[in-house]
Structure 1
Amino acid sequence: MRDCAIVRLPKFFTQGKAVFITGCDSGFGFALAKYLHKLGFTVFAGCLLKESGGDGAAALEGLHSDRMKVVQLDVCSEEQVTRAAEFVRENLEDPERGLWALVNNAGVSAFGEVEFTSMETYKRVSEVNLWGTVRVTKALLPLVRRAEGRVVNMAGMFGRMGHGQRSADCVSQHAVEGFSDCLRHEMKPWRVAVIVVEPGNFSAAAGILTRDAVAAAADRLWAEAPAGVQEDYGKAHFERRVASVRAHCGGGERDVAPVISAVADAVRSRHPFTRYNPMETHWWIRMQVMTHLPAAVSDWLYF
């Protein structure tokens, strides 16, 4: 579960190895970029807000290290992904040795019951979480193959189980899991490992879905819902559901360390796990129940 990475041995040497990480403006990506740099990796840190003066990009550039290379990257932009991949090729210490690891970390989140969630929201979440992962992977996979390295994809516990009000997240994360499984099978002959990291509730630690964001989104969800949906569900029901999301945001882990430890192990271990589950014990048990027992049992326990 959450501490699996602590006992993993042996590790690869980090000297001369390079890692590309997406979503390094804040949260997991920012912390991971600093941690892997500290371990000795050359880090290519993809930041959405580099060109607009983002604090995360500025802090990473402020390390003034030849091994920390901050790259402008919107994973939804074919042009920026292509440009970033070319930057990596041109700045690798030894391009013939390739890129040791790609960590697809960039992600967004949304909430709302299906009838309150717009098609635009479904598309926006999947464009980042799913198609961003596919787009960046395709651009950098030749370099990872050359290194016989690994691809680490961040999904989440909602990639393994459904959850009310989180269908947009579940759709994208389930798809990332499926993409990762297919890629793992394809990459086995190339000796490239493909790993999925499935964090639990780290909303408070990573700021993925804050209470303020929930409040703002809730007003929009209600205002944009069709009159018939508003009438059938009722404002009282809607507010109860929003309150449950706010509680979720305020709970969970408050330290990103378990996730950083899991990803670092996935990058460094000679024999990484296929999946890492840094999450609280009750979420891990729930995930096992919902993925291994008949649906009638898990529905009775949790819904």
Structure 2
Amino acid sequence: MRMDVTSDEEVKAVYEQIQKDLTQNEEQLWAVVNNAGILTLGPLDWGTVDTYKRIFEVNTFGMVRVSRTFLPLIRQSKGRIVNLVSMAGRLTPENLGIYSMSKHAAISFSDGLRRETRKWGIKVSTIEPTAYKTPMAGPDYFTRELEKQWNESSDDVKQLYGQAYYDHFKQRKDRLTVAKTGKNIYEVIDKMIDAIRSPDPQIRYVAVPGKAYNKIAIFLAQLMPLEVYDSIFAHKSTREPKPSGLQRLVNEK
């Protein structure tokens, strides 16, 4: 069945169909998995506010809409709600601010829902992966979203950053999507299955691809002071070209 999570009508129609099927077969709905998500990237002053709304409508309000709609069925079964969020909802990487905002909100919703539905015997878990090789983390998707953000930016913003900065950003993101994404998506899927089937599911399932030091680095990043976290990003940015507007200020001095 088709279900656009941004559409009240489609979510309601799917709910009514599932409710009908469950009644006819004398069965119950055990779990809802909120997996819909989209991503954009680029500085927070690129593009328009409509992009913020588009990302939140799927990543945050879509999750809210589906969870609230199906909650009566989950109450009956004392079942599970499993929300796929992201480590970007705990740590905000540079140039992923809009996506991270939506995932922070989704995590807060999940935390509140988990605490409020315990009295009904419902268990709510979040799945929090880093980067895995899915269509959304591929170079074509990244390029399309980056071009959209740049093309919809104001002339003042384009002049401030400059074409050379954008071109370098685009090339760097293409390299990152190839080098930094995990290929074994079953690391994430297995955690989703455990959240549904385990008698005592975890509150949080963190999925980090690669070797053990990657997992340790993510763990430590959540504990370190924000000043240290910011300084790491600041150090990395020194190796990147400066926006043309910033370069002009440096030259004037």
TM range (shorter): 0.7 to 0.9
| Corresponding residue number in structure 1 for 2:98 | 168
Show structure 2 runs of 5+ residues with no match: 235-253
- TM-score, normalised to structure 2, is 0.85
| Corresponding residue number in structure 1 for 2:51 | 121
1:291 aligns with 2:219: no
Task: Give the secondary-structure state (helix, strand or coil) at the position aligned to 2:33.
Answer: strand
1:197 aligns with 2:127: yes
Aligned partners of 2:127 and 2:205 also within 8 Å: yes
| Corresponding residue number in structure 1 for 2:148 | 220
- Give the partner amino acid of 1:111: L
Which structure's residues are more often helix, by fraction?
Answer: 2
- Between the aligned partners of 1:282 and 1:118, the Cα distance in structure 2 is 38
- Give the partner amino acid of 1:157: M
**Matches for 1:4-43 after TM superposition, within 5 Å:** none
1:22-69 deviation digits (Å, cap 9, x = unpaired):
xxxxxxxxxxxxxxxxxxxxxxxxxxxxxxxxxxxxxxxxxxxxxxxx
- Between the aligned partners of 1:149 and 1:277, the Cα distance in structure 2 is 21
1:266 aligns with 2:195: yes
Aligned partners of 1:78 and 1:135 also within 8 Å: yes
- Give the partner amino acid of 2:61: W
How much identity, in percent, do the aligned residues show? 31
Aligned partners of 1:101 and 1:151 also within 8 Å: yes
| Corresponding residue number in structure 1 for 2:205 | 276
- Between the aligned partners of 1:219 and 1:178, the Cα distance in structure 2 is 31
Residue 283 of structure 1 deviates from its aligned partner by: 4.8
Corresponding residue to 1:209 among 137, 140, 143:
137
- Between the aligned partners of 1:245 and 1:282, the Cα distance in structure 2 is 23
- Between the aligned partners of 1:228 and 1:195, the Cα distance in structure 2 is 43
- Between the aligned partners of 2:225 and 2:32, the Cα distance in structure 1 is 36
Task: Give the secondary-structure state (helix, strand or coil) at the position aligned to 1:198.
Answer: strand
Aligned partners of 2:79 and 2:121 also within 8 Å: yes
Residue 243 of structure 1 deviates from its aligned partner by: 2.5
- Between the aligned partners of 2:15 and 2:186, the Cα distance in structure 1 is 28
Aligned partners of 1:160 and 1:287 also within 8 Å: no
- Between the aligned partners of 1:233 and 1:168, the Cα distance in structure 2 is 19
- TM-score, normalised to structure 1, is 0.71
Corresponding residue to 1:148 among 59, 78, 82:
78
Residue 182 of structure 1 deviates from its aligned partner by: 0.2
Q: Which has the larger radius of gyration?
A: 2
Residue 115 of structure 1 deviates from its aligned partner by: 1.2
Aligned partners of 1:97 and 1:147 also within 8 Å: no
- Give the partner amino acid of 2:97: S
- Between the aligned partners of 2:25 and 2:140, the Cα distance in structure 1 is 45
Show structure 1 runs of 5+ residues with no match: 1-70
- Give the partner amino acid of 1:167: G
| Corresponding residue number in structure 1 for 2:231 | 300
RMSD of aligned C-alpha atoms? Answer: 1.9
